[in-house]
Amino acid sequence: MRAATLCGFPLSVLIVTLSASACSQRAAAPKGGDGLSSPIPSSTAQSAQPATATVNAPAPATSASASASQTSAAPVPAPVPSGPTPGQVYCGARACDARTEFCFAAEGRPGVCKPRAELERFHAGSGAQDRVLECDDASDCPSGQRCCMGAYFGGTGPASQLCDATACLAYEACVPGAACSAGNACKTEPATPAWGRCAPANLAVACGKSRCSGDTPACCWDSDKKTGACVPDADHGGFDKCEAPAKTLLACRNKADCGGQYCCLHPMQGSSCWGACGGSADTVLCDTFADCPKEEIMGPEGPVKFTRCNKSGGLGYCQ
């Protein structure tokens, strides 16, 4: 059986590899909101390769009371949000004040609220599997911005959630019950019930002469025969019925299937929806050129500027 996945990618791959993939750099931490703990894919304008080492998170100041608390019982988690939480970022035992704090979650540890004055230090010193959370849904952000997850501060830097008016590098973050952009809904994983991602509300994809949906929303596509069969998605055993590389598990074929996000095809992992495709492994799927990114992305041989949607083997590829 395959490991659990998120939007088509195994969680183990996403957490270890994709969050460390090449990413665009930001000179300074943006203002506004905070929060989440989910994996990241490659971003636009990326160039670094997946890192195998983890940079140690900055060592916070300790005190006698802090040392004592580490040996005491684990804190009781705060209630999981059931709707938008303006100005608050869920962080395990309590909610951080998004105006003055952010949530830092080191690998495998509960989140801790930190002063926003320390943001730059944590962005620079945290590891690829750590999380720096400035928002957890759009209500923490100024009007016209969304709470975006992405590797915004370097290939070995932390997964960051921050407010952004442009397309999210990985995905739009949310809490249960919070609103998402049109065509999407907030979805969570059992391991992170308070931190979700905006994903297509209704999974469905064209598959030859059929359209897959319901309990079998993915298409197992044979490019040689140009035929496909509807199967469960990657989270529900789809890879067991659609073995790569002979066949490809498709959760999407275009932006319409992704609620406006891009449909990214990754070798051996099939297609899935993300805010941006990029890096040396991803291909952008399309039905028309309108499905292709307008901006450059980093391809296997350097920056790529798409000029057309090329149909081949029954699939369309941005080129």
C-alpha 158: how far from chain center: 13
Return the pLDDT at 166: 82
Kindly state the average pLDDT of the residues 168-183.
90
Going by their DSSP bridges, the two strands 297-299 and 302-304 should be labelled as antiparallel
Asked whether the bond before 158 is cis by omega within 30 degrees of 0, the reply is: no
Tokens of 33: 């909101």
Taking the chain, what is the end-to-end CA distance rounded to the nearest angstrom? 34
Question: Apex CA 243: angle with CA 203 and CA 200, to 5°?
Answer: 15
pLDDT average, residue stretch 62-87: 62
Residues 6+ apart with CB under 8 A from 198: 171, 172, 173, 174, 180, 181, 184, 185, 186, 187, 259
- Measured between alpha carbons, how far is 110 from 128 in angstroms, rounded to an integer? 16
Q: What is the DSSP letter of 73?
A: P
Two tokens, residue 68: 């004592």
Query: In the chain, pLDDT over 90 holds for what percent of residues?
Result: 39
Residue 118: pLDDT over 50: yes
Q: Mean pLDDT highest for which of 1-5, 67-71, 172-176, 293-297? A: 172-176
pTM of the model: 0.68
- Segment 258-282, tens digit of pLDDT: 999 999 998 788 999 988 886 656 7
Mean pLDDT along residues 30-46:
36
Grade residue 302 by pLDDT with cuts at 50, 70 and 90. Answer: low
How many whole angstroms separate alpha carbon 153 and alpha carbon 175?
23
Q: Looking at residue 6, what is its pLDDT? A: 41
